[in-house]
């Protein structure tokens, strides 16, 4: 196989290694310090960005996970009183999911801790270095978007 494909493979393996290490640390912190999980955090974050609520399909679309997946996570968040799931008047198939007041303040706490953890893990980057790598990855993401197969 061509040299360039070897270089790309090596790049992918290193990207994956970094991601796994960081995600592992974040998962561990969420578990140890807040008895929570990354999927829950992701759902709460999406709902925090959309205070008017999201339908189940909008939520799974935003998070880019499967439809059925979100069902279970939201179920547990409802049990914990962090979100509500209410029928949509105009469309009896649909459900609107929304943060409760408790969910809003709980997520604020989580988000602040999360940002601090990430910042510590990425301490080897100063603002400029972080922005530079950010930009490179943004280019990659754009390229991946257009790749649609």
Partner DNA sequence: TCGATATATTTTAAGCTTGAAATAAATATG
Partner DNA sequence: CATATTTATTTCAAGCTTAAAATATATCGA
Closest CB to a second copy among residues 32, 89? 32
Note whether 40 binds DNA by CB under 7 A.
Answer: yes
Alpha helix segments (H runs only) across the chain: 3-34, 38-49, 56-63, 67-79, 101-121, 127-146
Neighbours of 27 (CB within 10 A): 15
Cα 127-113-96 angle, rounded to 5 deg: 110
Site for a second copy in 20-39 (CB under 8 A): 20-25
Site for DNA in 54-83 (CB under 7 A): 55-58, 64-74, 76
Note whether 31 binds DNA by CB under 7 A.
Answer: yes
Give the residues lining the site for DNA (CB under 7 A).
24, 27-28, 31, 37-40, 55-58, 64-74, 76, 85, 88, 91-96
């Amino acid at each position: 196989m061509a040299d360039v494909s070897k270089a790309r493979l090596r790049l992918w393996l290193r990207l994956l290694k970094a991601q796994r290490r960081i995600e592992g640390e974040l998962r561990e912190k969420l578990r140890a310090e807040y008895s929570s999980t990354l999927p829950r955090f992701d759902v709460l974050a999406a709902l925090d960005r959309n205070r008017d609520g999201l339908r189940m399909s909008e939520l799974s679309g935003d998070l880019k996970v499967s439809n059925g997946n979100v069902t279970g996570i939201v179920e547990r968040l409802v049990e914990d009183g962090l979100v509500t799931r209410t029928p949509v008047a105009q469309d009896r198939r649909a459900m609107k999911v929304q943060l409760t007041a408790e969910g809003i303040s709980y997520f604020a706490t989580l988000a602040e801790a999360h940002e601090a953890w990430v910042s510590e893990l990425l301490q080897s980057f100063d603002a400029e270095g972080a922005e530079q790598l950010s930009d490179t990855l943004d280019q990659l993401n754009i390229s991946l978007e257009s790749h649609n197969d």
